[in-house]
Structure 1
Amino acid sequence: MKVVVLGCGVIGVTTAYYLAKQGHQVVVVDRQPGPALETSFANAGQISPGYSAPWAAPGIPLKALKWMLQSHSPLVIHPQLDSLFLHWLWQMLANCTSKRYAINKARMVRLATYSKQCLVSLRESLALNFEGRELGTLQLFRTAKQLRAIDKDIKVLEQYQVPYERLDVAGCINIEPALSDQQHKIVGGLRLPYDETGDCYLFSQVLMEQAKQLGATFLFNKKILGINATSTEVKNLVLEEGVIDGDCYVVALGAYSPALLTWLGIKLPVYPVKGYSLTIPIQNTEMAPCSTVMDETYKVAVTRFDQRLRVGGTAELAGFDLSLQEARRKTLAYVVSDLFPNAGNVTDSEFWAGLRPMTPDGTPVVGSTSLTNLYLNTGHGTLGWTMCCGSAKLLADQITGNTPEIDPEGLAISRYSK
């Protein structure tokens, strides 16, 4: 079967690989000159099944108001008279209940845990160099109040059988020795040893090459103009150069997926949430973290690659605006300088922003649609790197007709019509 994949971020690349692995003729189309040049390019670098949880949770609306009032706020909202945004926000607030949180959390953990298993299998079978590390994530707390609040988080981790370690200050220093000189700034931590790190952009490049060896074709610098379809199926994909015919189509366009789907009368509640990162060359290895350190106060992650630090965080609701805001850079620079002041020179950093495709319930949209040959793999929010392999393998099995290895309940777009 010929499958046309729209989008070549980490989601599109992994989808192409698993489809090609199952014997399909795969064609990937993207407007960029290469893979993973948008949202996947410079994310925080975390592969974190343990942190797979929806933003929509009880108490979040009040927390959001407090965050926006603090210095170096992790959340910024630019008020907009945008009906799509207002509808998405209303849906998100409707999910901020204990019942909805439990449902959404269960779906996300199921997919994220499976995705980690798929990544492990890939790593065992392929030579993939993406500067990966299997050293876990350390969540740092600066106040006693934060430390007391983790009892709720631990109950959730235990409920979903996620391994964890509750650490005092000495325990944090043992895991991340570079924090030694700054230990007076923290009161403890929570470590998730099952988490990993790695450069999502490098991963996408090397996996694309593996997909090519399986026969997949990648078409870059291609502008998608639309989709021709009947009321029951897609006929072809329209490009500036002409049309591409296929037996099956997968939309993996991240935050840009809803705009294309409107051609087909499909309403996908995905909204762009802008995230920022700094990439800093490491100058003093001993003063840099070993893996990922998450600062709970500022919601900023500092991740170690081979010779670089990736500092990622903040959530900005500003539509499709990709401009780089100096205030966001200052927040990222403050956190990394405060925790690891001698690791590298922040003035030498590369500043970047990308649009995370966020659903109102936090769960990505993976699966079939009302059109018989159209599938979706999008809406992963901040967890595209974490969930990419599992989402792609699940979708490839569905397209091929194989029995999925996990329950796909609640992952398809049909959940929004209920």
Structure 2
Amino acid sequence: METTQQKAIIVGVQLQNETNFTYSMEELRNLAAACNITVTGELSQKASRINPSHYLGTGKIQELSMLVEDEDTLIIFNDELTPSQIRNLESSLDRQVIDRTILILNIFADRAKTKEAQLQVEVAQLQYMLPRLTGMRESLGRQGGGSGLKNRGAGETKLELDRRRIEERITALQAELQGQVERRQIQRRQRHKNEVPVVCLVGYTNAGKSSLLNAMVETYHPGSNKQVFAKNMLFATLETSVRSIKLPDHKTFLLTDTVGFVSQLPHHLVKAFRSTLEEVTEADLLIHVVDASDPQHEQHMAVTSETLKALGADGIPTVYAYNKSDLTDRAYPAVEGDSVTVSARQSSGIPELTGLIRSHVFNDYIQCEILVPFDRGSIVSYFNEHAHVQEVSYEEQGTRLRLECRATDYERFRNDFVELSH
């Protein structure tokens, strides 16, 4: 079935001292495109404050109504609108009005594939809609079938529910989500018990986090078919994926892919996705992936840092991976301090990135030489699997090993072998 492309005009207010307004409007365009909406016009106003009743001043509202040609044109505002602003704008303009928040919520609804992500998005949508029911109910009559805003998971029927039923629905969804959260916490506790370090990929949406995870998997586990979905689009990843990476010297760490950040990420979403984002706060090391080819990458880094701070993850050691370097004139692969230039697409810079990961998460390893009695053969097997055995020789009293192993493993078996050097 062919859907007609929805047209829209984007509208924003630039406040005094706001330096990234042009970029934020450009991003609004990209968000609209991700929702299958074509932006046909743009209107902006410089002001000292947002108009509390109509968002824009009276003159600008008249200008906007002249810009809107046909009745199917959608008007998208760059900030989250209050319920009364939506109501007033829709009655003044006689058009459907939406804001940046609902646009992001719709993209998330469209991309959510796992049960948990779908529950999280629906909670966020319903919480956003609850105070806006009256305004939105009127606009529903105007919403065309060919719209890019499918509101999947929270469509017309749900909007028509009265407040009480929506609140009951939110409560039921949150209870269901809590079960998912508890399951995730059990998995995390298990990982801690196994003492496997957790390395988490974070960064702006579409910086190439999933592609980097895939490049790591392919480098160290070729042909394992453990790749995750990666695509050049906003919010391709909405669920946390964890992959175990085993290096040639038997050191293992878990690599986690997370939801990308975006400026003005709706607080309903941050709240709903908190359990997913908690993976970040439990990590031993963060890899902040940056799209080096994007002219706004410094702005993206600032947004990511702010979001990490809001999550309470700003104290975790961080390595910076400047990705998509093949699209820039940067030399790659190259390491400078805790930064590395890479190209996930070309799998270039993976050994250099791994070197930085090693220096952060494997600092509890020790070099030693031990003699294991023959009747303790299981210890030799354990070290062969979990340590980097550099040399083996057989003597009268047992097996002599020169190896690098975790300090905790050394202490654990200390009474079962003879220490030759440490």
**Which TM-score applies when normalising by structure 2?**
0.26
Q: Which has the higher helix share?
A: 2
Kindly name which structure, 1 or 2, has the bigger radius of gyration based on alpha carbons. 2
